[in-house]
Structure 1
Amino acid sequence: MRIAFHTPLNLFDDGGVSGDRRMARQLVAALETLGHVVEPVRAARGYLPSADPACLDQHRADAARLSDQLLASYRSGAPRPDLWFTYHNYYRAPDLLGPAIAAALGIPYVTAEASDSERRAFDEWSAQTAIVRHSLTAADVHFHFTDRDRQGLEPWRQPGTALLELPPFITFEKEPPQREDHAGPPRLITIAMMREGTKQNSYLALARILARIPDAGWRLSIVGDGRRRGEIERAFACLPQEQIDWLGLIPRERALDELARHDIFVWPGVREAYGLVYLEAQAVGLPVVAFDSGGVSATVMAGETALLAPEGDEAAFAGNLVTLLQDQARRERMGAEARRFVLKERTSAGAATRLAEGLDFACRHRRDKLRAAGSAAS
């Protein structure tokens, strides 16, 4: 099939660095392994920086013009898509193109990582949330990465719409390195951009957690950079500075090598969507310590490859970390299982199989809907 691939939040091939762009690239690659031709929809970035109605009006006007242009080009003989696939549709980046174009062409409409927000339906974001909800009812298949997203989609499940789990997966160009043995105290590592919001909140939580156990025999490497580096460095200033290494922003391949020189991956993940970095850390053989927050649990095997504390329970997080710091044998068992889990169960090949199943559902559902609409009209 020819698939129109739309990413309202960010153009996945614009050179930016983010988890959503990376997942979008992985989805495209998985779809291409199935033999499909995937064409990115060249739309302006659809992220809404504020709930200002004028901002939404401008985005809707731009989307209407682009929709008219695309439909006109298809009618004039340009290769038309057989299916529309939208990735990451939510209230700050609603899909303003897919439902209308799919309906006009009579083709299946599929989403991945779409989400609804009940809270936003009753505040200044209500208009944007209504647009998202319209697209949720229009879809033939929703792929959800986490159970939290599934729960949000359930109220909008319509006859002829499937909700299919697509567990977070990760692609490596070559087999990732394995964790290396080393002398000295256990080494902790965290990797995250230093930006406002959930990332900064997780960094601040990690600083408070480590302040509870300064003498537990750890050394921490921090990989990342960004606008909030100054505030984050100040949060860690109360800790023994000889136990902290600030490594800055490094390329992905070097980051994998750096992970392999450590023993435990620590990242609170406060309200994390899911976090591909958890999969990377496990792939090289590191156990994870995190909060059971957001979609983190979708990326690990709790109790087997990760110790998860209740969200916000910093004492429990510190206790889990001390448990692994003091038990090398358990660290190594969990790390070995973590590597097996990611390299065997969270692969692009497995994701492609699930995608193939979902696209088949979508095509059948759309045919049934068109048939029913034709019968009603006649």
Structure 2
Amino acid sequence: MTKVAFYAPMKPPTHPVPSGDRAMGRAILAALRDGGIEADLVSKLQTRDKDGHVDTQARLLALAEAEATRLIAQGRYADWQVWITYHCYYKAPDLVGPTVAAALNLPYFQIEATRARKRLNGPWSTFAQAAEAASDAADVIFHLTARDAESLYAYAPAHQRIVHLPPFLPRNDLPPASSGDGPMLSVGMLRHGDKFASYELIADTLTLLKTPDWRLVIAGDGPALNAVASIMQPFGDRVELRGSLDDAALGEAYGQASLLFWPGVNEAFGMTYLEAQAAGLPVVAQDRPGVIDVLAPHQHPTPAGGPEALAQEIDLLLGDCAERARRGQAARDYVATHHLLGAASKTLCDAITGTIA
């Protein structure tokens, strides 16, 4: 059996806090298993420096050097045939994989690597340079979105293969279809920054709705809980903050919702879009890079349209159950065709076995 060393410097798939990053990491492991490849999670070292602190980067570099030394020693007695790193970028570079792969003469793969050369100067310069070096070292890089592909192709060294791996759900079938007649649903971590910008846009949109009896359930938790609760307070009991939901409870929420409403400000792509569409929910989101890669074809509102365009889209769907059902089925069919486990497993495993053959 083919065996790979797997590492996720941003967040290991065993991390206790739910996130899209963790979900995608788990999905990758499921895809490898589905293709008959065994993956060892070889390190849980998280290299993320969210604030651009030189001292933080120096500390993580020292930890990574020690971790690489440990893994080189371990790898001499392991039967790894490939090293795979998931999600390497300037705030959380792979400081371990290139060193270990080179020492053990392993092909080095990356999944969802991003190049950000504008960060080569500034507070993240050390980490940005490390992320660029890791990307340069990769034999194969799988990109998830068209936006990531642009810079990967632009700066790829001659030896490197770039492969498209569409984001996917870790399942080969679809969940039961939603009833389509429940409340709207928003799913996202409650944190400041880009996530909070989506919640602010949601609140602005809700004030413009003409549909009289709308309701919204928000699934998520985090440090911006009080801030989100505050901006939703004017809507009273029409907005319910349900907190963090486990997989079963979230699946139930999808199954009862009428649509998913998540604008997607600066989302990489968003697993919640795939989960919602798999359940047959039409999605109200903005046409943004990354997000658009996982949405069923439709004329989605642009950011320039602001909350007014989002409100028009919601009013249309809430007021026309036939259109809502049509869009929901189209979304479900789209996920079944493009974003389930089987196709992803074949893409990953063909590249791995073709490299080591």
Report the alpha carbon displacement of residue 312 of structure 1 after superposing the two structures with TM. Answer: 5.0
Q: Distance in 2 between matches of 1:254 and 1:68?
A: 42
- 1:277 aligned partner: 272
Q: What are the equivalent positions in structure 2 for 1:123-272 lying under 5 Å apart?
A: 123-172=122-171, 175-180=174-179, 182=181, 187-213=183-209, 215-239=211-235, 241-272=236-267
Report the alpha carbon displacement of residue 106 of structure 1 after superposing the two structures with TM. Answer: 1.8
Do residues 353 (structure 1) and 354 (structure 2) align?
Answer: no
The answer to whether the Cα contact below 8 Å between 1:109 and 1:362 also exists between their aligned partners in 2 is no
SS of corresponding position for 1:116 = coil
Q: Distance in 1 between matches of 2:100 and 2:47?
A: 16
SS of corresponding position for 1:41 = strand
- 1:370 aligned partner: none
- 2:300 aligned partner: 308
Report the alpha carbon displacement of residue 301 of structure 1 after superposing the two structures with TM. Answer: 1.7
Q: 1:309 to 1:118 in 2, by over 3 A?
A: farther
SS of corresponding position for 1:350 = helix
SS of corresponding position for 1:167 = coil
The answer to whether the Cα contact below 8 Å between 1:216 and 1:322 also exists between their aligned partners in 2 is no
Which structure 1 segments of 5+ residues have no match?
365-378
Do residues 29 (structure 1) and 27 (structure 2) align?
Answer: no
Report the alpha carbon displacement of residue 215 of structure 1 after superposing the two structures with TM. Answer: 4.5
- Find the partner of 1:293 among 277, 288, 295: 288
- Find the partner of 1:332 among 321, 325, 329: 325
Alignment deviations for residues 348-376 of structure 1 (CA, whole Å, 9 cap, x no partner)? 11100111232245447xxxxxxxxxxxx
The answer to whether the Cα contact below 8 Å between 1:114 and 1:142 also exists between their aligned partners in 2 is yes
Q: Could you say which structure has the larger radius of gyration?
A: 1
Moved more, 272-281 or 244-253: 244-253
Do residues 87 (structure 1) and 80 (structure 2) align?
Answer: no
Q: Distance in 1 between matches of 2:172 and 2:349?
A: 22
Q: Distance in 2 between matches of 1:311 and 1:127?
A: 33
Q: Distance in 1 between matches of 2:237 and 2:59?
A: 52
SS of corresponding position for 1:168 = coil
Report the alpha carbon displacement of residue 319 of structure 1 after superposing the two structures with TM. Answer: 2.0
The answer to whether the Cα contact below 8 Å between 2:166 and 2:338 also exists between their aligned partners in 1 is no
Two-structure CA RMSD over aligned residues (Å): 1.9
Count of residue pairs brought into register by the alignment:
355
Report the alpha carbon displacement of residue 155 of structure 1 after superposing the two structures with TM. Answer: 2.3
Report the alpha carbon displacement of residue 97 of structure 1 after superposing the two structures with TM. Answer: 1.1
Q: What are the equivalent positions in structure 2 for 1:9-28 lying under 5 Å apart?
A: 9-28=10-29
Report the alpha carbon displacement of residue 110 of structure 1 after superposing the two structures with TM. Answer: 0.4
Alignment deviations for residues 22-48 of structure 1 (CA, whole Å, 9 cap, x no partner)? 111111121122222211122422111
Question: How does the TM-score come out when normalised to structure 2?
Answer: 0.93
Q: Distance in 2 between matches of 1:17 and 1:99?
A: 28
SS of corresponding position for 1:124 = coil
